[in-house]
Amino acid sequence: MKLWGGRFSGGQNRQAHSFNSSIGFDGRLYKQDITGSIAHAEMLGRQGIIPQEDASKITKSLESILADIESGALAIDQDAEDIHSFVESELIKRIGEAGKRLHTARSRNDQVALDMRMYVKDEILALKTLLRELLGTLLKLAEGHTGTIMPGFTHLQKAQVVCLSSHLLAYFEMFRRDHDRLTDCFVRTDVMPLGSAALAGTPYPIDRAFVCEKLGFAAISANSMDAVSDRDFCIEFVSDLAITMMHLSRFCEELIIWSTDAFGFVSISDAFATGSSIMPQKKNPDMAELIRGKTGRVYGSLSALLTLMKSLPLAYNKDMQEDKEAVFDAADTAKACLSIFTAMLADAHFNKETMYESAQGGYTNATDAADWLVRKGLPFREAHEIVGRLVLHAIDRKLTLGQLPLTELKAISDTFDESFYEAVKIENSLNARNTPGGPAESAVLAAIKQAGYTLSAM
C-alpha cells in the first residue's frame, strides 16, 4: 500500500519502487516505529482528534503487531516501501477503517525523525554499557601491574621508564572521554520531534508534551522545520563512535606490535588469534587487526553522513533516507569491536620480565641522569648537553649509563660521583616520577583509586 497513491494516475515503475524502498534496512526500526505510533494514537484519542474507541483499537493492534514481529509470527514484507508503510498497512488489515486514522496530524518526516532519535538513544545506552565493561577491565589490569616496569615510547622509540599500569590508565582516560561524549550526545538526541509533521506543524490540537513524556524524552523540538531536517544527532553520534574506534585502533596497534617476536611484551590468547594456511608456526593477532581495519569503516560512515547533509536545503529531502545505513553500520561495528576487544584484553598475558629487560635498554634513564646533574646545581640545558655526550660515549662502549666507570663519567663532567648510579636505576627512575598523573607506584595507586570512583559514578 502506498501512503501517497491518491495523487498518482499510474503505477510506479518496478525498478523505481525498488530504488526508492528503504524497508531492506529501516525494517530494523520496527520497535521504535510502533512504540512511537502507540503514543501518537493515545494522544489523538485523549485530545478527541479521533474517536477514543478507534484510538484504543489502534493501540491494541499495534501492540499485537509488535509482539508478532518479535515472536516471528509476522514477517516484515520486503516489498513494502518502508517500515512506516508496512506497519500502517498491517494495522489497516487487522482493524480496517480505524487504522486509517493513525496518521492524522503526522508525517513520515517527523515519524522517521522520531524513530531515529529513539534508535540512537537506545544505541548510546548499549555502547555506554560496553565502554563501562572495557573501563572495568582496564582498571582491573592496572591494579595488577603497578609494579610492572616497561619502557615508555615517543616516536616509537624508547623514551623513559614507566609502568604498565600507567600505560593502561592512559587508555582508561581515552575511553572515559568516549563515555562522556556519548552522555553529551544523548542530551542532544533526547528531543522529541513528533508533532512537526511534514515541516510546518499541524492545525490539529495535539499534545506534544504528552507524547514526549510517554516516550521518555526530555524535551520537545523547538522548530518544526529543524526537527524534520536535523540529523546533527546522527552525525554527532557517529563522530563519537569514530573517536572511540580511533582509540581502539591505537590500542590494537600496540597489542599487534607488542605481540611480535621483536617486542614480546604481550601474548594474545589463542582464543583471539588465528593461524596461517601455509606457515604452521604462525599465530596472527587477527581480532586486533580487524578492529584496526573496521575503524576505517566507521570513518567512512561519518564521511558519508557529513557529505549527505552538506548541501541540503530546508526541510526534509529524500537524500536523508541514506542516513540510516551509515548510522546502523557504525553502531553495529563499534559494538562488535568493543565487545571483542574487551574479551581479548582480559584474556591477554603481559610478559613482565620481557618488559623489564626492555626498559633497561635504550637509555630510558637519560633524563634522570640530566635531572641528577640539575640537583647538583647545573642548569638543565647544560645538563642535557652533558648527558647527550654521555649517551654517545655509552653507545660507543656498548654499555648502559649505569655500567660506565666513574672515571669515564668524570672525564665528561667533574660533577659525577657515586650517587649517580643509584639515581639511574630504573626502579628509582620510575618512582621518582610521583607527581599526580605520573607513573610512580604511589601516583598510580592514587590514579587507580580515582578511576574506581569515576567508574562507580557512571
Which residues are tagged catalytic? 155, 276
Of 68, 86, 69, 85, the closest CA to residue 77 belongs to 86
Please name the residues in contact with 344: beta carbons below 8 A apart, sequence gap of 6 or more.
255, 268, 269, 272, 287, 288
Please name the residues in contact with 160: beta carbons below 8 A apart, sequence gap of 6 or more.
151, 152, 364, 365, 367, 429
Distance, in Å, from the CA atom of 84 to the CA atom of 106, rounded to the nearest integer, reads: 12
The H or E element that residue 318 is part of is none
Separation in Å, CA 184 to CA 121, 178, 181, 325 = 11, 10, 5, 23
| Cis omega (within 30 of 0) for bond into 383 | no
**Whether the Cβ atoms of residue 308 and residue 322 lie closer than 8 Å to each other:** yes
**Whether the Cβ atoms of residue 111 and residue 315 lie closer than 8 Å to each other:** no
Please name the residues in contact with 18: beta carbons below 8 A apart, sequence gap of 6 or more.
none
- End-to-end CA separation in angstroms for the chain: 46
Segments in 48-150 forming alpha helices (H): 52-71, 83-95, 108-143
Amino acid at 99: G
Q: β-pairing, 157-163 with 191-192?
A: unpaired
Of 146, 147, 39, 152, the closest CA to residue 102 belongs to 39
Quote the cell numbers at residue 160: 623513559
**Whether the Cβ atoms of residue 131 and residue 179 lie closer than 8 Å to each other:** yes
